[in-house]
Amino acid sequence: MDSKAIASGIRRYKHQESSRTLLGFETLVVSAIVGFLFKSWAAFGLTFLLFVIVSFVPILTLIVSLAFSLFWAIIGIVIGMAFVGSSLL
């Protein structure tokens, strides 16, 4: 292995670790919201456990990440429309 391959591996690891941290935070937030909505620790725990299990399947992790990204985009649009008005132009 040359130094370029090692540097590339280190960069890829750092990127994956930061993505995993963000996904973990989003998982915790969604689990907390579900727990509060149902007023149940069991709902929180089951939701969190479901997300942990899903995180071990790469294609499901990608789908969940895309869903979270879409959700954040919708929130941004809603906030933008609140400041600008109801028109997007």
Written as six digits, the tokens of 82 are 């609140």
Nearest-CA neighbor of 44 among 25, 28, 60, 20? 28
- What is the model's pTM? 0.68
In a domain, 63, yes or no: yes
In a domain, 73, yes or no: yes
pLDDT at 53: 92
Does the pLDDT value for residue 3 go beyond 80? Answer: no
Q: Which H or E run includes 17?
A: helix 3-38
Domain interval for residue 8: 3-84
Q: What is the mean pLDDT of residues 64-74?
A: 91
Task: Please tell me the total count of domains within the chain.
Answer: 1
Q: What is the mean pLDDT of residues 52-66?
A: 89
In a domain, 79, yes or no: yes
What is d(CA 77, CA 37) in angstroms, rounded to the nearest whole number? 25
What is d(CA 69, CA 73) in angstroms, rounded to the nearest whole number? 6
What is d(CA 43, CA 31) in angstroms, rounded to the nearest whole number? 8
In a domain, 89, yes or no: no
